[in-house]
Amino acid sequence: MASRKFAELLNEQIGNEFSAHQQYVACAIYYDALTMPQMAAFFYRQALEERGHAMMMVQYLLDADADVEIPGTEAPTNSFEDIVAPVRLALEQERRVTGQVNELTALARAENDFASDQFMQWFIKEQVEEVSTISDLLTVVTRAQHDVEAIEEYVARELGSVGEDASAPAAAGA
């Protein structure tokens, strides 16, 4: 069973993951409206990934016989000053989530909640990958902001397909 404090904080994190999901949908729609299908598809995939993270957390709480309470979320940012802004926002978001994941892991350890600590290890690995990917994308989009085709080509070549991670925790409803 997960510690009470960990379960409370993980419920909050579920809300953070759903907020990230909504923000990535807003970013995808922005790029869709600009007829940047590769960037739009990337952010739609990111949105589904964030939803998946939330559902993994839900499943963990269910498995740990802890209460699940889905918090509400604030409206995402829907308008952006230029094509760089959504990626900059995404990097800020991923860095914030990294801090949240680290906080959850530290709490699990402080509570001697070894199962929850083990559960969080996958998210630590995931955040390293996410920050790296978005950081690289920000570099490319900033450098090529006046060459939409170069951005689209990079995304298609480097970020176009993502395989399943067999080590990922189970997600509720999957």
Could you give the dihedral angle defined by the CA atoms of residues 7, 13, 17 and 23, in that order, rounded to the nearest 10 degrees?
150
| Token code pair at residue 155 | 């995304």
Return contacts of 105-114, CB within 8 angstroms, 24+ apart.
107/3, 107/5, 107/6, 107/9, 108/3, 108/6, 111/3, 111/5, 111/6, 112/3, 113/2, 113/3, 113/6
Query: What pLDDT does 53 receive?
Result: 96
Kindly tell me if the per-residue pLDDT of 168 is higher than 90.
no
Contacts with 36 (C-beta within 8 Å, 6 or more apart), sequence order: 83, 148, 151, 152
> How far is Cα 155 from Cα 38, in angstroms, rounded to an integer?
6
User: How far apart are alpha carbons 70 and 15 in whole angstroms?
Assistant: 6
- Residue 159 to residues 30, 46, 137, Cα–Cα distance (Å): 18, 11, 9
Q: Is the pLDDT of residue 164 over 80?
A: no
Per residue in 113-130, pLDDT (tens digit) is: 999 999 999 999 999 999
Q: 3-class SS at 147?
A: coil
Q: Could you tell me the fold of the domain covering 4-71+79-159? A: Ferritin (1.20.1260)
Rounded to the nearest angstrom, the gap between the alpha carbon of residue 166 and the centroid of all alpha carbons in its chain is 18
Report, as an integer, the average pLDDT of 27-38: 97
Judge whether residue 106 has pLDDT over 70. yes
- Does residue 18 register a pLDDT over 80? yes
Residue 163 has pLDDT above 70, yes or no: no
Give the rounded distance of the alpha carbon of 163 from its chain centre. Answer: 16
Given pLDDT bands bounded at 50, 70 and 90, which one contains residue 23?
very high
| This prediction's pTM | 0.92
Amino acid at 163: G
